[in-house]
Chains A and B, each alone.
Chain A
Amino acid sequence: MFAQVLAQLALLAIAVAAVALPLSFLLAAQFDKGNVPVAKGFWSSLFGPAFGTEQNWKSYLLSALVFNLTGAGLLFLILLFQDHLPFNPLHADGLSPAQAFNIAISFMTNTDWQAYTGDETLSLLSRMAGLGAQNFLSAATGIALAFAVVRGFVREKNPSLGNFYRDAGRAVIFILLPLSVVAALFLVHEGVPQTLAASVQASAIDGGIQTIVTGPVASQVAIKVIGSNGGGYFTANGAHPFENPTPLSNFVQMVLIFALPAAFLLAFGRMVKDRRQSRSLLAASVVMFAILFVPCAHYESKANPALSGLAIDQQVSEANPGGNMEGKETRFGILGSTLWATATTATSNGATNAALDSYMPLGGLIPLFNMLLGEVVFGGVGCGLIAILVYTVLTVFIAGLLAGRTPEYLGKKIEAREITLAVVAVLLHPLCVLIPSLASLAAMPPGGEPHSLTQTLYAYASASANNGSSFASFDANTVYQNIALGLVMLAGRFGYAAPVLAIAGSLSSKRAILPSGGTFPTHGTVFVILLIGVIFLLGGLTFLPAVALGPIAEHLSLYSR
């Protein structure tokens, strides 16, 4: 088992490196192009003056907001009126306003929480031009925000952070779209359907008629994994054989899930012209990922004690996947499922290839914990880099306090304003998870089981972290949950983007100073260990009481049977 775990991790690391390295050159090139002032010409005459100007942090944020709300508005209208629009072969009804609001916010904020069940709820137009397009635009927003934040470290005495529209447009056309075309073709080859026929009737061999829902699945699944979106074509998401037909498609999708977040960490060193910075952020991320994956795989591959009295073979062997197979697919087995669950919650992707609700309590704690950390372990496309930079700034500050040195990072002095904003950004997440969770539990008290507490906690952690995975038996499609979760997603996305862009704006206005003997080095092993410690302590400890009442209590009662 241990050898298999190592082999999986090694294979994944090699493949991710092979894809992320060339991508990091592409990212750095697009970052540099965004630094060139636009000439007044075709583009600015088409899009208007807002397109060609350099923006300070406030107008960059405003553009991001207006752009995203426009996209969400379009999606909301498509969902509401899908029964009157073309490409609706299964005659899906228009959605209720509360549900359409939730889905529009969910896909606009890169959360991709699916508050709908049934594979025939949405029309093909809603899927392609609605959800599919938002998958691209929300990922592009993440890329643009990361570019702006990095410019804060690079620029000197210059409050502008680039132009949002240019950065986002470039991200779609030069990064996300080409990658998706290649990935979608590969997925079709593996067995993912790509057709405009919405369903097929089959006369099953052993009797009965089976309605098989198909559609343009591959094009949506490609961007779902590349853009850390996670919203699937089917309710079962990545567990559905049409979304994820083979062990190889499972592996390649994981590689694509990591591709851009890892490429961002690699490109960061290039952007700030100090490659050592990339190495330390990458090392911290890899170590944290391995630390998180091992317990998840461990608890899922052990026998479920609740079934120990029955005549079941739960032992892992070459012919038997063993362990806790409830909610898992045979072709992925325990390792292919747990590696995926760890990967998609570390990276803010939120796609699922197994039912997380049916995970063992501590196996399911890992995806929950990843989201509670705020998804800093590689994190979402662009947003992952931002998250780990916020923690880096805090680590530099704490190290400065410990060693009595001036806190500075990449030649920029870290002062009270930056620290205050970083603390606001880091604290926002626990507030967005714990208070709405409590409110939901108070409004609709579930059963006394620890598992129902975990379900609610998981839902709000997923919304606030813009992850989108769920414990699926949570009753999400109510007016209350649709609205409350939608608002938490908004706060988690833009409530976080605002202080972070403000930090970038404040840093970019500063003069760069040369490192002196008093500078705490942000590369090397000491810094990596310190960074990991700060992330686990600050991110994790906040939630210890909630986690103790949920998954840990459930674990203790299950194993004391």
Chain B
Amino acid sequence: MFQELRASIILVLGLTLLTGVAYPLLMTEAGQALFPYQANGSLVEENGSVIGSEIIAQSFTGDIYFHPRPSASAYDAANSGGSNLAPGSVKFINDVESRVEELRKPGSARLVPVDLVTSSGSGLDPDISEASARFQAPRIAEAREMSLQKVEKLIEEYTARKTLGVLGENRVNVLQINRALDRLSPETLPEMPAP
């Protein structure tokens, strides 16, 4: 038994140093050297300060912006997670119903794409589906006093297609397209009241 303990302790400590200290630290060095942008969290900077991560959703509520999907964790990037509500639960159905009411104009015949009224698994989904982007286009065009075609063209440009035509979904990164909107019509910004 003593021999077993001796071998175990030496091997556990040795392999822990190798896989739990040397490996992650070396990968950090390598990652930082080879792909520094991604290794630091794909952070987007503007005027020298970090405004978010390209691949982490943040809250957009103003009419001039595309809105991300609902988040069960209120876009808290230190507390990820989904609603974990069952598909038949009363709270889930009520949540979805109130989101639909908020998004649809009275009398409109347009259906809301399902991803725009359901919360994501992480609460930090950086994307909306192509359909959800198009659904929001008229609201943004109106708020920014832009032509609908211009917004639609932007959606076209910012839609990432399925990888190899098979993997994933056609989607639009909300942070990227909103920054593009701001670059396109920056004069709209100061006139908008804070949400």
The answer to the question of B154 belonging to the interface, with a C-beta cut-off of 8 Å to chain A, is: no
CB pair A193–B131 under 8 Å, yes or no, is no
Chain A neighbourhood of B34, CB < 8 A: 185, 188-189
Q: When each residue 214-238 of chain A gets 1 if its CB lies under 8 Å from chain B and 0 otherwise, what string results?
A: 1010111001000000000011100
Instruction: For residue A123, give the distance in angstroms from its CB to the closest CB of chain B.
Output: 13
Assuming A165-B11, A206-B195, is B30 touching A185 (CB within 8 A)? yes
User: Does A246 sit at the interface, judged by CB under 8 A?
Assistant: yes
Kindly identify which residue among A133, A197, A357 contacts B20, using a CB–CB cutoff of 8 Å.
A133
- Which residues on the A side are within 8 Å of B13 (C-beta)? 74
Q: Nearest chain-A residue to B164 (Cβ)?
A: A11
Contact B87 A360 (CB under 8 A): yes
* Bound Cα distance A337, B168 (Å): 9
Stretch at the interface among A63-71, A497-505, A525-533: A63-71
Contact A321 B124 (CB under 8 A): no
A63 to chain B, nearest CB (A): 6
User: In the complex, how many angstroms separate the beta carbon of A251 from the nearest chain B beta carbon?
Assistant: 5
Complex interface: chain A residues within 8 A of B168 (CB): 246-247, 250, 331-333, 336
Q: Does B121 contact A180, Cβ atoms closer than 8 Å? A: no
Q: Is the CB of B80 within 8 A of A240?
A: yes
Asked whether, in the complex, the Cβ of B77 is within 8 Å of the Cβ of A211, the reply is: yes
Contact with B along A72-113 (1 / 0, CB 8 A): 001000000000000000000000000000000000000000
Residue of B nearest to A314 (CB): B114
Q: Does A269 contact B (CB under 8 A)?
A: no
The reply to whether B24 and A219 contact each other, CB–CB distance below 8 Å, is yes
Selecting from A24-32, A46-54, A435-443, A507-515, the interface stretch reads A46-54
Q: Is the CB of A320 within 8 A of B129?
A: yes
Shortest Cβ gap from A268 to chain B (Å): 26
- A34-42, A322-330, A342-350, A385-393: which one contacts chain B? A322-330
Chain B residues numbered 25-40 whose CB sits less than 8 Å from any CB in chain A: 25, 27-28, 30-32, 34-35, 38-40
The answer to the question of B52 belonging to the interface, with a C-beta cut-off of 8 Å to chain A, is yes
- A374: chain B residues at CB < 8 Å are none
* Contact (Cβ within 8 A) A202 B58: yes
Q: Is the CB of A50 within 8 A of B129?
A: no
Instruction: Assess the A330–B120 pair: CB atoms within 8 A.
Output: yes
Q: Is the CB of B38 within 8 A of A188?
A: yes
Per a CB cutoff under 8 Å, which of B39, B62, B131 touches A195? B39
A318 touching B50, Cβ below 8 Å: no
Residues of B within 8 A of A189 (CB): 34-35, 38
Q: Does A304 contact B (CB under 8 A)?
A: yes
Residue A516 CB within 8 A of the other chain = no
Q: Which of A140, A173, A194, A358 contacts B82 (CB 8 A)?
A: A358
Q: Which of A165, A241, A313 is B126 in contact with, Cβ under 8 Å?
A: A241
Residues of B1-57 at the interface with A, using a CB-CB cut-off of 8 Å, are 1, 3-13, 15-21, 23-25, 27-28, 30-32, 34-35, 38-43, 49-53, 55-57
Residue B148 CB within 8 A of the other chain: no
**Is A63 a contact partner of B27 (Cβ separation < 8 A)?**
no
CA distance A307 to B59 in the complex (A): 25
Tell me if B20 and A129 are in contact (CB < 8 A).
yes
Q: Bits for B85-115, please: 1 = Cβ < 8 Å to A, else 0.
A: 1111100110011001000100000111111
Max chain B Cβ within 10 angstroms of own Cβ: one of A165, A352, A357: A357
Number of A-B pairs, beta carbon distance below 8 Å: 394
B160, closest chain A residue (CB): A331
A250: chain B residues at CB < 8 Å are: 167-168
Stretch touching chain B among A114-122, A376-384, A400-408, A411-419: A114-122
Contact indicator A191/B129 (Cβ below 8 Å) = no
Query: Which residues from chain B contact A306 at a C-beta distance below 8 Å?
Result: 87-88, 92-93
Chain B: number of interface residues, binned into ranges: 35 or more
Q: Are B19 and A70 in contact (CB under 8 A)?
A: no
Whether B134 is near chain A, meaning CB under 8 Å from some CB there, is yes
How would residues 301 to 316 of chain A score, 1 for a CB under 8 Å from any chain B CB and 0 otherwise?
A: 0001011001111100
State the Cβ distance, A110 to closest chain B Cβ, in Å. Answer: 14
A312 to B19, Cβ gap below 8 A? Answer: no
- Asked whether A49 lies within 8 Å of B3 as measured between CB atoms, the reply is yes
Q: A188-B39, A306-B88, A357-B85 are in contact. Are A67 and B3 (CB under 8 A)?
A: no
Residue of B nearest to A241 (CB): B55
What B residues does A133 contact at CB under 8 A?
15-16, 19-20
B62 partner, pick from A50, A206, A307, A353, beta carbons under 8 A: A206
Partner of B8 from the list A63, A192, A328 (CB cut-off 8 Å) is A63
| Interface flag for A366 (CB, 8 Å) | no
**Residue from B89, B114, B126, B169 within 8 A of A312 (CB atoms):** B114
Answer whether A62 and B53 are a contact pair too, CB < 8 Å, given A119-B80, A206-B59: no
Contact in complex: B80, A206 (CB < 8 Å): no
Question: Are A311 and B111 also in contact (CB < 8 A) when A120-B78, A195-B28, A205-B51 are?
Answer: yes
Name the B residues within 8 Å of A48 (CB-CB).
Answer: 3, 6-7, 10
Smallest beta-carbon distance A10→chain B, Å: 9
Binary interface profile of A, 163-206, with partner B (CB < 8 Å = 1, else 0)? 00100110011001100110011001111111111011111111
| B149 located at the interface, meaning its Cβ lies under 8 Å from any Cβ of chain A in the complex | no
Nearest-neighbor residue (CB-CB) of B128 within chain A: A330
Contact with B along A245-270 (1 / 0, CB 8 A): 11110110000000000000000000
B50 touching A201, Cβ below 8 Å: yes
User: Shortest beta-carbon distance, B168 to chain A, in Å?
Assistant: 3
Q: A205 is contacted by which of B28, B58, B76, B118 (Cβ under 8 Å)?
A: B58
> What's the minimum C-beta distance from A323 to chain B, rounded to whole angstroms?
7
Which residues in A have their C-beta under 8 angstroms from that of B120? 239, 327-330
Q: Is A327 in contact with B82, judged by CB distance below 8 angstroms?
A: yes
CA distance A331 to B120 in the complex (A): 10
The reply to whether A172 and B19 contact each other, CB–CB distance below 8 Å, is yes
- Give the Cβ gap from B30 to chain A, nearest Cβ, in Å: 6
* Nearest-CB residue, chain B, relative to A318: B170
Q: Which residues on A sit within 8 Å (CB–CB) of B179?
A: 205
Provide a sorted-by-A list of 19 A–B residue pairs whose CB atoms are within 8 angstroms. A189-B38, A193-B39, A193-B42, A195-B28, A202-B50, A204-B59, A205-B182, A207-B195, A214-B40, A219-B24, A219-B28, A236-B80, A241-B57, A247-B169, A313-B114, A319-B129, A319-B130, A325-B118, A355-B81
User: Known contacts A320-B131, A336-B168; can you find 9 more A-B pairs with CB under 8 A?
Assistant: A71-B16, A74-B13, A128-B24, A194-B27, A205-B51, A206-B58, A234-B122, A319-B129, A472-B81
User: 8 closest Cβ contacts across the A-B interface?
Assistant: A247-B168, A133-B20, A239-B121, A129-B20, A194-B31, A355-B82, A236-B80, A333-B169
Residues of B within 8 A of A (CB): 1, 3-13, 15-21, 23-25, 27-28, 30-32, 34-35, 38-43, 49-53, 55-62, 65, 69, 75-89, 92-93, 96-97, 100, 104, 110-115, 117-132, 134, 162-164, 166-171, 175, 178-179, 182, 194-195
